[in-house]
Structure 1
């Protein structure tokens, strides 16, 4: 207080302080106290505002540093002045500051990024773009949202970049786009792509346009008999073979389950026909484990822009169907022959068993006085009665123990598989029913339909009897064979139950006694 009083005395003694001459010390002290309080209030207010600014700055720094996207601030030389945590993750390094951004740009994105910055500098407004960056050898796709700013201190330009990593999203978009134009199974184009490609090739300088149709023979049979997985494998193998022979600039599209179309620019009839011959030869027999598949082809030519695509397609389709009709029987027979050969190769005991059953069945048929065609049918059915086992797990043939209930149910399906295979071929269709019903029992307790007595075709009853006798005599992995006398007794014990009694009598008394 003494300091203030002294100050007042000094003021009163000065001419410039005449305004205070009429005031007493107490009045001046009061006035100064008010000024003091105001200064203290203003000081507190400035301190509070400074604390708020510090807090805001800290919040801004926190938001900047912890933002879920990458932020960079570049100076006028495009060097990094500042960066946040997500930028470290994006660029996979914490040594970004002071580096220029250009080395991180993918070569294909250099120009795009240059024009992006140029727009910011010239327009002085925000701008967005998408570019690719390189982190080592890794390519990332990012979206940029950028602003041009000037430093308050010196007005120097700088650039604020918000960077969103869209690598995964971009890959997903590409995958969706790819799938919209490509067949998912084979990777070749699909029907959606085809329409645009035909339009693109319909130009004078690209005509004539060759159109080749390809159709996989017997694919439905393979799908129905061996499952769609086997069919899919066959399709993939066939497509890969076809692609290997296609000239540069051609395209292939899948337009159906087993149908493909090949488009060729600047192709005359001679070239189209020669390519079809090449493809036919390459696809004569496409192997897949136990089977083979062939492909039918047909071609057409679009000579002029005005000629309709439908006309050319019909021309190719007609040629293809003539080809399929010509080879239909041999294709189906080929599948059956391949399946049988594979079964016998894997399980030689099945071949020996089938031959013995065939011979026994023929002799029973001859004793019964059946016609030549029926005896021949018995011979064929005996050889093919277990062809459906081609789809069974190999372990079932090698198992030394009794089959489980599930394994027995799996085994029963072989008659239906065999039926589908044989019924698909005109050459073997007449024995399909014989094979289907050869495990029916005389008392109706067999499979697959539970037929009984005369409902069961005669040939099926004969094959079923001869097969059972051969199995009982020669045994299986899990069961030893019986002596002939015991096997005969087994037949008599099951006469009227499993077997036709009259046929048991013929087999035992007229066939086996003669051996």
Structure 2
């Protein structure tokens, strides 16, 4: 700023002081009014005395508080004054003591700091008798003086506005410089008080400008950080410069790692410590992370499960990890500096010829290369192992190859797994026979003229589903494995035996006519008749067909063999199922003697009750059989539950409640027992619909099932209670009577109770 500007600014300040004194202490009552809001923006001492209010009260009031005109009328008068239509106004105003007085108001518009106001001079004219000519002269003189002063004030105000604008432009430039600094700016005086900062300082520390104004240097740091910072400050005051990294405490207790470069500044004979702080938290974190990553990478390369060897552009080994040492037989000390080919000795798996130099290929092509899967690594001790590997170039920013990294691993286990996967892709996992995929490929391959006559044998294991339902899938799987072994043993070396899925098998017999095919089937059946799984006999239904004509569709041949097998299965399977049911009930009774005695008693009670309510001989016989087999499904209950000595838990009961459905599946598969299967399924339903497994209600439940339910419950209460004392006959009758109409059919319950009482 020039000396002329300094002089001008000084003159403005002097004039401002003069007019301030003139306004404040003038004996005239003076008000500065906002013409828009009617608010009193300022007033002098005379005005405060006249209206009886303090200056603070006055500047929070509107002129309407004192003037007796309405706000609308007063606004009209204000507009006239603002437009200079009139200079003198006469109003009635309210004084502090409550009196209404007549006042003369002389008003002139003024502009201060870019805003428009009305300067009003108020004179109390209550009771005054003035000479009008003299009054007009005085008014004219006063108006002239005020107008002159107002013009002077407006001129000074304009000069002040110009000076202020110039100063603001300079401050904008300075602030822009401050805010463009990539860190937080600080200026401390010699007492350590923060006296200047930028917005970045507020953003980084979280403190507001008001809070920063009270901060001192020692509040930002603690412990070792504070010691280092104060040492840096001392260095600044001694040498003019200091630098330090420290943890700055932000608002709320957080910390920022900052790097501060401080310098000494002298101004008006005073010294200041100033500088810029940069947040290096992230850069330090990245630096630390990079160091950690470097260590981690080195550790990883050393301990990774793959072998790693790196070499320079000349193929000389620079690094070898532990796994590479084990696979090559070379130690790190032995391998470093050696040519790559000496350490990494590889040959072709099929002909043992020396493989190419993969490192040289990578350096030449500047691209990643992989060995084929037929590569053997020969260790220093002569041992061989299949490996797989890849080699990648190390390229600098200019695109030049600095070296090569080779990563390789022992392929032995993977190779075995691939061979196993390949085996499984063509073999059935359970039986070890070929699977459907292999069979279909072989059928297409064999379907040629040189293999004619071509015979197909189809086989289906009888009773597999029944065995699964009765004894579980483990026994069913054993049955299938026995069947596969018998079929394979009976066939020739060139025959293809496959499991198509489930219980179906197929045999492809190249150059085999119908006679030989029948002989092979007979051989299989003879071996099968001697095989058992537990007490279960092995039974397989066979069908076959032979292709003699090369134009015959092989799929039609397969269809004929399958149809023949199904025709035989219709007769062979029925007998097998009936025998299996008998074997199931026999197995159950052998395993659980109490279940046999219980079933026999329920059978007898059910038949007796059926006769009593009028069932014919056949129905009574079926009912007796159903009573005997009502718990056949318990053969499928997990071992240890039926004869469990301690109290059954919820899981045990859930398992036991499965037995009606298991029994239904077993019996419904055999024609001889299919009619009674529904009675078994419903034997644990309740008259009120709260039973299981279907929740049937009332007469929705078969009559036979309702009869069995009462007989079963009675015998269980009097003979089969495992975890509590059995009931007496009287107590059991009382219990059946109590449950009549809820658990039991009330009419059947009544008849049953009569039977039991008559027996006594």
**Could you state the TM-score of these two structures normalised by the residue count of structure 2?**
0.49
Q: Distance in 2 between matches of 1:350 and 1:455?
A: 28
Cα gap change, 1:128/1:500 in structure 2, threshold over 3 Å: closer, same or farther? closer
Normalized per residue, which structure has more strand?
Answer: 2
Of the structure 1 ranges 280-289 and 323-332, higher mean CA displacement relative to structure 2 is found in: 280-289
Number of the residue aligned with 1:218 = 463
Contact 2:346 2:355 (C-alpha < 8 Å) held by counterparts: no
Q: Could you tell me whether the CA contact under 8 Å between 1:292 and 1:338 is conserved in 2?
A: no
In 1, the alpha carbon distance for the partners of 2:644 and 2:700 equals 34
Within 5 Å, give how 1:94-105 maps onto structure 2. none
Counterpart of 1:390 (choices 624, 627, 635) is 635
Matches within 5 A, 1:190-229: 190-223=435-468, 228=473
Distance 1:188 1:132, change over 3 A: farther
Equivalent residue, structure 1, for 2:697? 452
Q: Secondary structure at the match of 1:451?
A: coil
Query: Contact 1:363/1:511 (CA < 8 Å) preserved in 2?
Result: no
Change (3 A) 1:300 1:138: farther
Distance 1:482 1:467 in 2: 14
The structural deviation recorded for 1:262 is: 1.3
Partner of 1:55: none
Question: Is 2:551 the partner of 1:311?
Answer: no
Partner SS state of residue 758, structure 2? helix
Q: Does the CA-based 8 Å contact 1:439-1:446 persist in structure 2?
A: yes
2:594 to 349, 362, 382: 349
Residue 76 of structure 1 aligns with which residue?
Answer: none
Q: Say whether 1:261 aligns with 2:506.
A: yes
Deviation at 1:414, TM superposition (A): 0.6
**Are residues 293 and 443 of structure 1, via their aligned partners in 2, closer, same or farther at CA, if it must alter by over 3 Å?**
farther
Which of 379, 393, 406 does residue 624 from structure 2 map onto? 379
1:504 aligns with 2:741: no
2:665 corresponds, among 420, 425, 437, to 420
- The CA deviation at 1:463 is 0.8
State the Cα distance separating 1:287 from its structure 2 match. 4.4
CA contact (8 A) 1:116 1:128 kept: no
Q: State the secondary structure of the residue aligned to 2:505.
A: strand
SS at match of 1:111: coil
1:489 aligned onto 2:726:
no
Deviation at 1:141, TM superposition (A): 1.9
Please state if 1:179 is matched with 2:428: no
**Take 1:287 and 1:281, find their aligned partners in 2: how far apart are those partners?**
13
Greater Cα offset, 417-426 or 179-188: 179-188
Q: 1:113 aligns with which of 345, 349, 353?
A: 353
Deviation at 1:201, TM superposition (A): 2.7
- Provide the residue aligned with 1:367 in structure 2: 612
Aligned residues: 425
2:709 pairs with 464, 476, 483, which one? 464
Over 3 Å counting, the alpha-carbon distance change for 1:172 and 1:137 in structure 2 is: farther
Shift of 1:378: 0.7
Q: Match for residue 325 of structure 2?
A: 88
CA distance in 2, matches of 1:275, 1:138: 49
Q: Does the C-alpha gap of structure 1 residues 433 and 138 become closer, same or farther in structure 2, counting only changes over 3 Å?
A: farther
Is the 8 Å Cα contact of residues 609 and 751 (structure 2) preserved in structure 1?
A: yes
d(CA) in 1 for partners of 2:575 and 2:530? 12
CA–CA distance in structure 1, aligned partners of residues 421 and 459 of structure 2? 27
Consecutive unaligned residues in structure 2, runs of 5 or more: 1-297, 312-316, 392-403
- Matched position secondary structure for 1:396: coil
Change (3 A) 1:87 1:475: closer
Tell whether 2:325 aligns with 1:325: no
Q: Which has the higher contact order (CA 8 A, sep 6+)?
A: 1
- Separation of aligned partners in 1, 2:440 and 2:319: 49
SS at match of 2:692: coil
Report the 3-state secondary structure (helix = DSSP H, G, I; strand = E; otherwise coil) of the residue aligned with 1:300: strand
Q: Report the Cα offset of residue 273 of structure 1.
A: 0.9
Structure 1 stretches lacking a partner, 5+ long? 1-61, 74-80, 147-159
Q: Which residue of 578, 600, 603 maps to 1:358?
A: 603
Report the CA distance shift for 1:111/1:188 in structure 2 as closer, same or farther (over 3 A).
Answer: same
Partners of 2:634 and 2:383 lie apart in 1 by: 52
Contact 2:470 2:584 in 1 (8 A): no
With over 3 angstroms needed to count, the CA separation of the structure-2 counterparts of 1:116 and 1:237, relative to structure 1, is: farther
TM-fit CA distance, 1:381: 0.2
Does 1:439 pair with 2:657?
Answer: no
Asked whether the 8 Å contact 2:638–2:655 carries over to 1, the reply is no
Calculate the TM-score normalised by the size of structure 1.
0.71
1:181 is displaced (CA, Å) by 1.9
Secondary structure at the aligned position of 1:352 is classed as helix
Match of 2:649 among 399, 404, 419: 404
Distance 1:365 1:128, change over 3 A: closer
Q: Distance in 2 between matches of 1:463 and 1:307?
A: 59
Q: C-alpha displacement at 1:377, in angstroms?
A: 0.9
CA spacing shift, 1:511–1:199, aligned 2, 3 Å: same
Moved more, 372-381 or 298-307: 298-307
Report what 1:38 is aligned to: none
